[in-house]
Structure 1
Amino acid sequence: MARILLADDDEATRDLVKRALETDGHTVSITQDGAEALDTLTSAAATFDVLVSDVHMPGLDGVALAKRAIAAAPDLKLLLMSGFAEELDRAQALKSANLGVIIKPFTLDQIRAAVRALLA
């Protein structure tokens, strides 16, 4: 199963997504914002298969995080979440083959399916 880094400033969303992905056997590490996620991604000891991030976060948002993550780890798969269409448009402009987007609100099955599709 995959090692997943989850970045979201909303505790309820973090808990929901973590629980859903762990149901599929993934190991999920949680960060509370983009800056913390970037620090975790770039630490020598951390290796992740997937970054799941909210787009709308204070400070380093999900799109900026994704750009830096792609530069640091080109094979990293990315799933960006947002309830705002214009933010998802910015995310899709990254044009990475390893990028998926999901619209909030989503179900547990939808987030699990989105991660499975990225890993396939």
Structure 2
Amino acid sequence: MARILVAEDDDNVRAFVVRALEMSGYDVTAASDGGLAAEEMAAKGGNFDLLLSDIKMPVMDGIALALTVGAQYPDVTIVLMTGFADQRERAHGLDALIYDVINKPFSLAQLTEKVADALAGKPANIIPLARQAF
């Protein structure tokens, strides 16, 4: 069973993502900001298969979190989430570090498909995902 660390500051989005991933059979740990996610990653010695993080968060944003995790735990696959076009552009400079960026809002199917693809090492879909409500 794959272990996933979710970093998302919005309580409702975090609950949706955690529930969706747990229903898909993943072992999920959640953090409400990037700082707490970095602490959790360190406490577990990087023992996660995937980091799924929002980009825009307090304390430590998803870009800083991805840089930290990527430097310390290069085997952890990283997928970022955002509802802001300018934040997605910031992530483009991290192409060698992150697997992909999921646009919010996203559907349950889009989320679980992207996570499964990332864990399987399939090539990322570079076409922006359709905007659907979660």
Q: Return the TM-score normalized by structure 2.
A: 0.85
Partner AA of 2:77 in structure 1: K
Q: How many residues align?
A: 120
Alignment partner, residue 27 of structure 1: 27
- The CA deviation string for residues 40-67 of structure 1, in whole angstroms up to 9 with x for no partner, is 1112555100000000101210011000
Corresponding position: 1:84 with 2:81: no
Q: Return the TM-score normalized by structure 1.
A: 0.94
Partner AA of 1:95 in structure 2: D
- The CA deviation string for residues 15-57 of structure 1, in whole angstroms up to 9 with x for no partner, is 1001111121001001010000001111255510000000010
- On the 8 A contact 1:76/1:98 being kept in 2, the answer is no
Corresponding position: 1:37 with 2:37: yes
- Segments of 4+ moved more than 3 angstroms: none
Which structure would you say has the larger RCO, counting Cα contacts within 8 Å and 6 or more residues apart?
1
User: Structure 1 CA distance, aligned partners of 2:52 and 2:75?
Assistant: 14
Partner AA of 1:26 in structure 2: Y
Residue identity (%): 43
Partner AA of 1:106 in structure 2: F
- On the 8 A contact 1:78/1:98 being kept in 2, the answer is yes
Give 1:9-24 correspondences, 5 Å limit.
9-24=9-24
List gaps (5 residues or longer) in structure 1: none
Q: Secondary structure at the match of 2:38?
A: helix
Corresponding position: 1:66 with 2:66: yes
